[in-house]
Amino acid sequence: MISKPKETQSAKFLQINPRGKTPTFVDTDGTVVIESFVILQYLKRYYPSPSMLPPATSKAAWTLEMVLFNETDNPHNLYGPI
């Protein structure tokens, strides 16, 4: 049985993102942005309208939102033992 490598490990994908991981965002001008939080910040900065972020009602709400967002990179941190 021949195993097929993950799509993110293909030569074509590794040319875009040598880390071989998702998420990877490629803008129309060829700019490559990796890491979910950085992609979100990039979109917020260069494509501000419409906003992709919900409005933060307070500093505490914004902080919690950012913590939860960053934890999505590690789903095991969001859920207890299954």
Tens-place pLDDT, residues 23-56: 899 999 999 999 887 888 888 889 888 776 667 6
Residues whose CB falls within 8 Å of the CB of residue 75, separated by 6 or more in sequence, listed in order: none
Q: How far apart are CA 45 and CA 7, in angstroms?
A: 29
If asked whether residues 43 and 59 sit together in one domain, one would say no
Work out the angle at residue 72's Cα, subtended by the Cα atoms of residues 67 and 77, and round it to the nearest 5 degrees: 80
If asked whether residues 34 and 5 sit together in one domain, one would say yes
If asked whether residues 19 and 46 sit together in one domain, one would say yes
Does the pLDDT value for residue 78 go beyond 50?
Answer: no
* Structural domain range at position 74: 53-82
If asked whether residues 42 and 30 sit together in one domain, one would say yes
Q: How far apart are CA 45 and CA 47, in angstroms?
A: 6
If asked whether residues 26 and 8 sit together in one domain, one would say yes
Per-residue confidence (pLDDT) for residue 6, from 0 to 100: 83
Per-residue confidence (pLDDT) for residue 58, from 0 to 100: 82
If asked whether residues 11 and 42 sit together in one domain, one would say yes
Q: Are 21 and 39 in contact (CB under 8 A)?
A: no
If asked whether residues 46 and 74 sit together in one domain, one would say no
